[in-house]
Structure 1
Amino acid sequence: MDGLKFIALFCFFFLVNAIGQETCVSFHDSPFSFSVVIGGSVSALFLSEDEWPGVQRAAADFASDIEKVTGRSPKVSNVTTSVKTSVHPVIIGTLGKSSLVDAVVNHTRMDVSSVSGKWESFMTRMVNNPLPGISKAYLIIGADKRGTIYAMYDLSEQIGVSPWYWWADVPTTKQAEIYFSATGCSHGLPTVKYRAIFFNDEQPALQNWAMEKFTNGTGAALTDSPFNHFFYSKVFELILRLKGNFLWPAIWSSAFAVDDPQNQALADWFGIVMGTSHEEPMMRSIPVEWDLFGIGPWNYSTNSEFIYNFWVNGTERAKPYENIFTMGMRGDGDLPLSETTNVDLLEKIVSDQRQILMSVFNESDVTNVPQVWALYKEVIGYYEDGMRVPDDITLLWSDDNWGNMDRLPIPDEFDRRGGAGVYYHYDYTFDQLSQAVERQATRIWVVNVGDLKPYELNIEFFFSYAWNSSLWSYNNLDSFVSSWAQREFDVPISTANEITTIITNLTRWNNRRKPELLNGTTFSLTDYREAESVITAWDTLLNASTKIYNDLSPEFQPAFFEMIQHPILASSTLSKMWIAQGLNNLHAAQARLSTNNLADEVERLFERDYDIELEYHHLLNGKWDHMMDQTHVQYFYRRQPMADTMPPVSRMRTRKQAIPGPMRVSPEGTGQAWPGPNLVSCSMSDTCPVAVISLDTYAPLNSRYIDIGAGGPFPFAFTASSNASWLTLIPSEGYVSPSNTEVRVQATVDWDQVVGSEIAQINFNATSEGQMPMSIPVFLVANRTVAPEGFKGFVEGDGGISIEAPHTSRNTSVANITWTELPGYGKTLSGITPWPRSGNNFGNFTAGSGPSVEYDFYNFNTVNGTGNVSVTVLVSPTLNSMGPDRPISFGVQMDDQDHQTKAFIPLSAPGTLPGEWDGTDGFVANAVVPVTTAWSALPGAHTLRLWMVEPAVVVQKIVIGKLPSLTKTSFTDRGS
């Protein structure tokens, strides 16, 4: 093939959309392609009768997929090597299993060394004269049964059948013809050997849905579980289409092998490896099966005989199938074992379990049976206290239930025969998964998907990254989302990029605070107009999503609603409801009649939240009824609330005047209202100090507002005037009444008229029929502060300096490690982290010797005029994954002062998390950890340095001086 033809062919096939795969499908003929469907002709699919049953089954799916795209259904046939045909078939088979494929390889002397004997690998290509009697064929060859299955599903995706065609109702775009490239596609060893999902906390949503869709209203005889083989057929197919191979099944009142006697055999038939969760050893469901069949307490020190036999039965039941056995023991019902449990007993438990495996499997070498020890919660404490398991057992490291890895292998643990893996609770984070790859935790990955929906995109990224991590890095993740959007919604790349931005913002804004942990003061109601900005951002996002939704053809709208529109509708409604509730409480404390309007808004949004749930359930004639049953308002403890309850609101009497009079004056940033005492700062006084607000040239907003509100049923007219020509008030007059409870007056400064610091008095005068006239003063301080000419860096504004971490003045590498931006990571812009994290052989540095970033800034003020400033570095919650003797830390330095090393995660006992970590206002809830240091910094120019000490630190923002509540997102860059 000459160069020009090769380039043309490459471009020709590259036009086909696929997510990360080598592309070998097109819908237009070329001189170098194999026609699968052309005109009225469709290639037959040939397999041998001795092929794996799971491959035979997937071939039927493959034929169905071709029919979905073209309307032409290939005939699937089991044939022998003596078959003769004038048509050009697609020959499908597994090396060493398919006599048909083995004959083709031998006849053509084809080189299959790239896949032979390699776990789940595959290759495809066009072959002339594959067998006597066949002039040309397209070969799909797998190194093993799943390799062959993945090859077919890979092609299915490329022809336009989404893995989510059933689970997310993604339509298939029709094509008249299909062609495969002559050179074909291939894939070698996956990055992660075993790739699984885990259904968990599946009541009420998934379980109620499955009961309605897969039973006659009655579940399994012993458990009443709806998770039968009809349900799991859909699950297994999805896992394989996503190139997964492993499952931890649903456990809530369910037992996979008991719920339906066909479940285990069906999984093996599909080609799915089965396991049981971190709390369920030896293929037995705990506590369900123990409650049904166990005798005595779940306590191995007092009841080992019955528990041992219980495990023997589970092992014998699983023996005919492909499994990974969970080893060890946890307490009954996902709880720790008793406090008297010791390492010796736990090691005996593992030893006894391995004896069971040898006995049941008649294996003298138990290492031939795949085993895993899940280091979840207290179990990691046993490991850190010295407990060890045999080298062939995979160590499954866990996260903190919030997507932050508790621990990962350290270099001394890399060479274990059983390797390591990850048990992960879903959060769409490349950061944590890429660390797992770098730290060689690639034997087993299990992701807890809850009810599965609505995590479609997140789940697919998890599997794609586990399948081939080399394709994805911190700087091309947007291309994954864009490709996904093109495939799912058949949109042009420009629209796909808009969808990528939408999803990025949705993910970022929900990461400010998990939606179920929101409350009325999560976002500032008084500072930087943060609450208003959050509402505006959600509305903008929803408008952008709605426009795309409305522009889609009706057949694509359900999929878009399920995966994008609904999460935005639900998240924005919940956020706005909580902000309205917070404002309602604030306005009530300020004696503002708008309290009642806000109470109405909370109630409206609370009901709207349920309307959105119903809209999801009524989609496609109720296909997904119950899938959003999960309660999500007012989580205050580990379990879900038993019902969604509206947040408490306050109301004012509509017929009674507030004591101070009809007019309430509420300046921005104060949380107070004048006249009268206020709960915020002068609750013990009959009168509050006069209102003072300030503005300077570097403030992020070039204005201040003053809200003029009704204090009761009496309407009034007001005027606003000042004694300064440099101050403009808009509007300068207005009318407030019970039907128009608020008027906002904006105060802006003409800085050309201000010299140094000047004060203006603003007078608000109100007249109301039957009421005494009111006059309320508000003072505005205008401070014209200017950095020296030529200064480059960040300049103090509004009493503080806020710096987005990627906006460095200088960035210095050491040992080829550089602080590198993780685009889109964090609460506001991006994060930075030392990269590569595996650099320096996973070693660390002392502060002052490693890679560093610098930030130049200019301050005008110090803390109470002392000459000191505070520096708060906002870092992502990151546990000590390098082990207990390597606490996560970084260095901070101001100018030439001594650097400080900050280990920012408090110490805790092995197997536990710091008290500050969890909870409704902990580190993970706020998505940042504040690390504060104090420095000498007289007014003037300074340089702040951050030094790498340990890998995996992610810095999001630096705030010098004034700092609002740490959940806030309001600080943006200020400076030049």
Structure 2
Amino acid sequence: MGRILVCLLGTLALLHGVQAIGQDTCVTFTASRGAFAVVNSRRVAPILIAEDEWPGVQLAANDFAADIQRVTSVRPSLTNYTASARPSTPPIIVGTLGKSSLISQVVNNTQLDVSSIEGKWEAFTAKVVQNPLPGVASAYVIIGADKRGTIYALYDHSEQFGVSPWYWWADVPTTTRQNIFLIPSGCSHGEPSVKYRGIFLNDEQPALQNWAMEKFTNGTGSPFLNSPFNRYFYVKMFELILRLKGNYLWPAMWGSAFCVDDPLNQFLADRYGVVMGTSHQEPFMRSTPNEFNSSRGKWDYTTNTANINQYWLEGAERAKPFESIYTMGMRGFGDLPLSEETNIMLLESVIANQTQILQGMYGVQDVSAIPQVWTLYKEVEGYYDGGMRVPDYITLLWADDNWGNIRRFPTPDERDRSGGAGIYYHFDYVGDPRNYKWITTTQLEKVYQQMSIAIERKADRLWIVNVGDFKPYERKTEFFLSYGWNATRWTHANINSFVTQWAAREFDLTPERAEVVTGLVANLTRFNARRKHESLNSTTYSLVNYREAENVLADWARLEAASTSIYNSLSSAMKPAFFQLVHHPIIASNNVAKLLINAGKNNLHASQARYSTNQLADSVEEFFEKDYDIEVQYHSLLDGKWNHMMDQTHLGYYYWQQPMINTMPAVNRVSSRKQALAGAMRIVPEGNLGAWPGDNANQCAQGYNCGPPTVTIDNFSPIADRYFDVGAGGPAPFTFTATSNVTWLKLTPARGSISPKAPEQRVFASISDWSQLAAGSNFAQITFTATASEQPTLSVPAMFVAIKNSPSSGFKGFVEGTGVISIEAAHVSRKTIVQDISWTELPGLGRTVSAVTPLPVTDTAFEAGAGPLLEYDFYNFNTLQGRGNVTVIVYMTPTFNFNERTRPLTFSVQIDSFPAVKVQPIAMQAPGDLPAGWGGPDGYVANSIITTSTTFTGVSTGAHTLKIGAMEAGVAIQKIVINTGGLQRSYLGPPESISV
């Protein structure tokens, strides 16, 4: 992956032998003293369970037995224990504390200490126990504090045996073993970090719905809505959620109604052990608007109160027998505000009446034990900030901006509410400024950065993530649920070890090859997070400055080559999983990048009268057709198992909604038979939109009689040479030479041939020996001469300026190159610690290398310049227009003003002993609104960056120190650019400056 390979920080020892992620290991595959044999020489331990055990535990125990068979080809017996049928082999005893009579018997017989899990939520313990039952000398006993505790214990062991949670949903083969052993001390886990951890199936048309219709119905869906999301679909989903240590689901909602589409859906969710809810816009376990038809009147609480209350009562009565979380409040149909006239008093009356419904139905006055959630999404957050309050026991579900940036966290006085707080997050979205729902575009590092603040700010009662069609987001879904299960496992310093362990588990890779996959995944999501596919266009990346577009394509090419190497080395059984989870998003994204950038180059070359325009047009058409070929390749996997999963359109957006068909970007063609007016040869210098000879609007302000082009370089430019593209101006072939009037300038190649089949040649101009040059500006002329049959010789001059600069002796730091000092934020000269808070690197987060943020996250605030500092030593040879001014541009990860309204996010910028300048990157927004600059096709979220500019006056040339000061938690800075007069337009900013 070259210059941007992410540093891998995981502890690879965790990978050896065991396939689980982030778990304490209790499984081995070789015998050791005291180890319990699950399978040894094809002799398998029987599994014992009580008849009175939870049905969900019995289902998981059956999966557990099947998992042992997947690993060893030997299936254990699974029986209800009776004293008259004692096992001949030491058994595995499974059960739930306080539910299983078998576990009660074991605890009573052995006085087993279960205090570590007693009364705990979803905790479990497992260990070897001596004489657990009459006539049983020893057993491996798995005990859950509650039904999901037992279920998680079983699936935890299965994963360590080698069965991926994604064995069905991503076709991950199981690594087979002859034997499985458990260490005597076993495995255990306390209460999860987040109580409810779930996913939301949403925006499920066209991909998920079309796929489910084909795979789980006979072509006809439910009678009511023709929905394909029946029990056969959902039991697959329930099992996966539990294997991933999740416990909560918002079901598919567009054109579906969970409880109506299949009468067994709700029953089976509870039986498996999955808590059901409904989305932020669907109160009281009703699929609204799909269940609310015209016979009930208008969805208007001011005029149709009785009918709506009755509708909610029916939903609550239907949900009462099952474990559910009630969504409170009310929104309008179609995920819209309730009405323009909505006011706080009305919504407070809605929730008051909903409370009365619960009181009457459950026959209790105190409904605080019934889980309830109020989602503060979009305008609803404005109602809360405007003073609306709900009972203390209702969980406040804070939302992100639909793009992974959490809008608000609980303030100190909100953190002791009995109902707590949670987060509604997005990996997929339909809405302004653009949908994004094709393939993965979210960085794990971003998820961690945001959700770690949620943990610190006590938003830990309920987490739900919108996973769209679900399939493109497998890895991120697992991380989201895993982090909620145990937030202490993952830190900013080891986030990549999650992917490394994941790669080893899924693809049975060595630690070294798992590292390679971690690099693939990190760069895939980094490149895609820079700007989502749906918002990319042909000029997003600069086609002329800093070689940006070319570097983007080169990075993608390296990524695809590395992925292809891994893919080709895998067994045929492993390839489908790797294709779905890693290779497809890489090759599909690379193809889109080539498609769009070549379209941009095509349009540019057409304006420059270059014959290569036509080859570029051909390539755009080729990449456009290949996009569909890649889709077909995905749909053809495993005899079409995942047909339709890549149906989503993604090319040709012109407003927020998906295009009805993929559309190729516009391309131009030039005459294939007619010469350009200016002659056979076209000369295009680097960094210029113009072309010579002849007239071009981009040569100079007049667009004619502009004179020869000038190219400038200096000895501290991070790009060590400059180029000129020599191209055909028509079908006539020609030879060319490039000559210079100085000896210190090297031209490579100095001659070449141009023809219709090879219409371009790039000539690089570099300094052979900077020591030959005098200090300051050195001038050269380059002459390009074309010789074509039956045409006059054509010569085009170009000026080349080489500037030799020298910083003061002994200076150490970043040096200005071509009018810019560009610094990756993590590459500090020094940093300070104040009140145990320090700027800390978040490896991999952001568009180029990483980000830095003040850690630990606290409520501490600092005055400008008084907080922890980042210090960068730099040397400048110029100022803006020579007037003693420089501009400091800070590139920051999009982050909301998520503190109290009196404390917006801020940081300080300072040069030397100049006064520290307080910078507020984001304007305060009205409650429920987005801040200025946030939305739109080129807003902060579309660009995945916020930039701030601070100009300092009276800055001399020479050595200086830039200081960035922490003021509030949550600021994550990626890059700093100091403009001294040479900054050019680009998407990612100039490459990092040379440091001496």
Q: Same fold (TM over 0.5)?
A: yes
Equivalent position of 2:510 in the other structure: 492
Counterpart contact for 1:294–1:307, Cα < 8 Å:
no
Task: Return the offset for 1:733.
Answer: 1.7
Equivalent position of 1:755 in the other structure: 774
CA distance in 2, matches of 1:14, 1:553: 21
Give the structure-1-normalised TM-score: 0.97
Equivalent position of 1:854 in the other structure: 871
Equivalent position of 2:23 in the other structure: 21
Cα deviation 1:196-252 (Å, max 9, x = unaligned): 000110100000000000000011111111000000010000000001000000011
Equivalent position of 1:651 in the other structure: 669
CA distance in 2, matches of 1:294, 1:670: 66
- Aligned residue runs from structure 1 range 337-416, under 5 A: 337-416=338-417
Partner of residue 815 from structure 1, selected from 835, 838, 843: 835
Counterpart contact for 2:907–2:965, Cα < 8 Å:
yes
CA distance in 2, matches of 1:355, 1:677: 78
SS at match of 1:103: helix
SS at match of 1:302: coil
Counterpart contact for 1:294–1:310, Cα < 8 Å:
no
Equivalent position of 2:435 in the other structure: none
Task: Return the offset for 1:915.
Answer: 4.0
Task: Return the offset for 1:424.
Answer: 0.3
- Aligned residue runs from structure 1 range 219-234, under 5 A: 219-234=221-236
CA distance in 2, matches of 1:705, 1:85: 79
Given residue 746 of structure 2, which amino acid in structure 1 is its aligned partner? T
Counterpart contact for 1:294–1:306, Cα < 8 Å:
no
CA distance in 1, matches of 2:936, 2:219: 38
Residues 294 and 44 from structure 1, CA distance in 2 versus in 1: closer, same or farther, beyond 3 angstroms?
farther
Equivalent position of 1:712 in the other structure: 730
Counterpart contact for 2:697–2:704, Cα < 8 Å:
no
Deviates more, 1:215-224 or 1:512-521: 512-521
Deviates more, 1:455-464 or 1:233-242: 455-464
Given residue 423 of structure 2, which amino acid in structure 1 is its aligned partner? V
Cα deviation 1:732-783 (Å, max 9, x = unaligned): 2222121211111111112121102111011112222333332211000000
Residues 252 and 679 from structure 1, CA distance in 2 versus in 1: closer, same or farther, beyond 3 angstroms?
farther
Task: Return the offset for 1:968.
Answer: 2.2
Residues 546 and 158 from structure 1, CA distance in 2 versus in 1: closer, same or farther, beyond 3 angstroms?
same
CA distance in 1, matches of 2:596, 2:510: 37
CA distance in 1, matches of 2:353, 2:878: 68
Residues 392 and 771 from structure 1, CA distance in 2 versus in 1: closer, same or farther, beyond 3 angstroms?
same
Equivalent position of 2:948 in the other structure: 931
Residues 14 and 568 from structure 1, CA distance in 2 versus in 1: closer, same or farther, beyond 3 angstroms?
closer
Equivalent position of 2:963 in the other structure: 945
Is 2:822 the counterpart of 1:802? Answer: yes
SS at match of 1:290: coil
Counterpart contact for 1:13–1:26, Cα < 8 Å:
no
Task: Return the offset for 1:505.
Answer: 1.0
Given residue 831 of structure 2, which amino acid in structure 1 is its aligned partner? N
Partner of residue 282 from structure 2, selected from 273, 280, 289: 280
- Aligned residue runs from structure 1 range 473-492, under 5 A: 473-492=491-510
Equivalent position of 1:5 in the other structure: none
Counterpart contact for 1:13–1:24, Cα < 8 Å:
no
Is 2:296 the counterpart of 1:295? Answer: yes
Counterpart contact for 1:274–1:323, Cα < 8 Å:
yes
Counterpart contact for 1:88–1:135, Cα < 8 Å:
yes
Given residue 259 of structure 2, which amino acid in structure 1 is its aligned partner? A
Counterpart contact for 1:13–1:181, Cα < 8 Å:
no
In structure 2, runs of 5+ residues without a counterpart are 1-12, 428-441
Partner of residue 902 from structure 1, selected from 919, 926, 929: 919
CA distance in 1, matches of 2:389, 2:377: 14
SS at match of 1:309: helix
Cα deviation 1:2-52 (Å, max 9, x = unaligned): xxxxxxxxx999742321111111111111211111123211111111100
Is 2:216 the counterpart of 1:198? Answer: no
CA distance in 2, matches of 1:259, 1:956: 48
Task: Return the offset for 1:89.
Answer: 1.1
Counterpart contact for 2:612–2:728, Cα < 8 Å:
yes
Residues 553 and 483 from structure 1, CA distance in 2 versus in 1: closer, same or farther, beyond 3 angstroms?
same
Task: Return the offset for 1:681.
Answer: 4.9
Counterpart contact for 1:847–1:901, Cα < 8 Å:
yes
Given residue 896 of structure 1, which amino acid in structure 2 is its aligned partner? S
- Aligned residue runs from structure 1 range 537-552, under 5 A: 537-552=555-570
Task: Return the offset for 1:802.
Answer: 0.3
CA distance in 1, matches of 2:530, 2:992: 15
Equivalent position of 2:265 in the other structure: 263
Aligned residues: 962
Partner of residue 787 from structure 1, selected from 807, 826, 831: 807
Partner of residue 882 from structure 1, selected from 889, 899, 902: 899
Counterpart contact for 1:512–1:926, Cα < 8 Å:
yes
SS at match of 1:289: coil
Counterpart contact for 2:834–2:867, Cα < 8 Å:
yes
SS at match of 1:884: coil
SS at match of 2:263: coil
Given residue 770 of structure 2, which amino acid in structure 1 is its aligned partner? W
Equivalent position of 2:87 in the other structure: 85
CA distance in 2, matches of 1:81, 1:256: 43
- Aligned residue runs from structure 1 range 180-195, under 5 A: 180-195=182-197
Counterpart contact for 1:512–1:967, Cα < 8 Å:
no
Partner of residue 678 from structure 2, selected from 629, 647, 660: 660
CA distance in 1, matches of 2:695, 2:364: 81
- Aligned residue runs from structure 1 range 488-527, under 5 A: 488-527=506-545
Counterpart contact for 1:868–1:934, Cα < 8 Å:
yes
CA distance in 2, matches of 1:683, 1:965: 18
CA distance in 1, matches of 2:355, 2:470: 33
Cα deviation 1:774-815 (Å, max 9, x = unaligned): 221100000011111210011100110000101111101100
Counterpart contact for 1:122–1:148, Cα < 8 Å:
yes
Task: Return the offset for 1:908.
Answer: 2.2
- Aligned residue runs from structure 1 range 718-757, under 5 A: 718-749=736-767, 750-756=769-775, 757=777
Equivalent position of 2:160 in the other structure: 158
Task: Return the offset for 1:864.
Answer: 0.7
CA distance in 1, matches of 2:462, 2:33: 43
CA distance in 1, matches of 2:917, 2:14: 57
Cα deviation 1:464-495 (Å, max 9, x = unaligned): 10000001100011111111111101111010
CA RMSD of aligned residues (A): 1.4
CA distance in 1, matches of 2:906, 2:15: 48
Equivalent position of 1:172 in the other structure: 174
Given residue 664 of structure 2, which amino acid in structure 1 is its aligned partner? M
Is 2:531 the counterpart of 1:529? Answer: no
Equivalent position of 1:214 in the other structure: 216
Residues 628 and 503 from structure 1, CA distance in 2 versus in 1: closer, same or farther, beyond 3 angstroms?
same
Equivalent position of 1:314 in the other structure: 315
Higher relative contact order (CA 8 A, sep 6+): 2
Equivalent position of 2:62 in the other structure: 60
SS at match of 1:819: strand
Counterpart contact for 1:698–1:975, Cα < 8 Å:
no
Given residue 302 of structure 1, which amino acid in structure 2 is its aligned partner? T
Residues 57 and 23 from structure 1, CA distance in 2 versus in 1: closer, same or farther, beyond 3 angstroms?
same
Task: Return the offset for 1:439.
Answer: 0.5
Given residue 339 of structure 1, which amino acid in structure 2 is its aligned partner? E
Counterpart contact for 2:545–2:986, Cα < 8 Å:
no
Counterpart contact for 1:81–1:103, Cα < 8 Å:
no
Counterpart contact for 1:675–1:688, Cα < 8 Å:
no
CA distance in 2, matches of 1:443, 1:823: 28
SS at match of 1:367: coil
In structure 1, runs of 5+ residues without a counterpart are 1-10
Residues 277 and 966 from structure 1, CA distance in 2 versus in 1: closer, same or farther, beyond 3 angstroms?
farther
Counterpart contact for 1:83–1:133, Cα < 8 Å:
no
Counterpart contact for 2:816–2:993, Cα < 8 Å:
no
Deviates more, 1:847-856 or 1:162-171: 847-856
Cα deviation 1:526-572 (Å, max 9, x = unaligned): 01111111111111111111111111111111100100000101111
CA distance in 2, matches of 1:663, 1:132: 95
Residues 296 and 938 from structure 1, CA distance in 2 versus in 1: closer, same or farther, beyond 3 angstroms?
same
